[in-house]
Amino acid sequence: MSFIALKFWAEWCGPCKTLEPHLKKMKEEFPAIEFQAVDCDDDKGLVKQYQVKSVPTIILLKNGVETNRIVGSVLITPLRKALRDFTKENENDNS
């Protein structure tokens, strides 16, 4: 079972830069989740595939299927809750 958090960001995006130190902490807090970053200016194919309209956007994927999407600059609390729920799903799937 794979759990991935895709972060869509851009170099020119202030809120994306503000989010980065929080994501580093969350990577340690949620080791079962693979965190990946997608630069929207460099990978327009993934931007189109996931229909990303603004940055930052975090998409949670379970076995390649989107289970949650968090968009915008006020991400920290809802993202931590979503990751916690994501982790609980993982624990429930393994029991």
Q: Cite the active site residues.
A: 13, 16
- Rounded to whole angstroms, the Cα distance separating 43 from 76 reads 24
SS (H, E, C) 30-86: CCCCEEEEEECCCCHHHHHHCCCCCCCEEEEEECCEEEEEEECCCCHHHHHHHHHHH
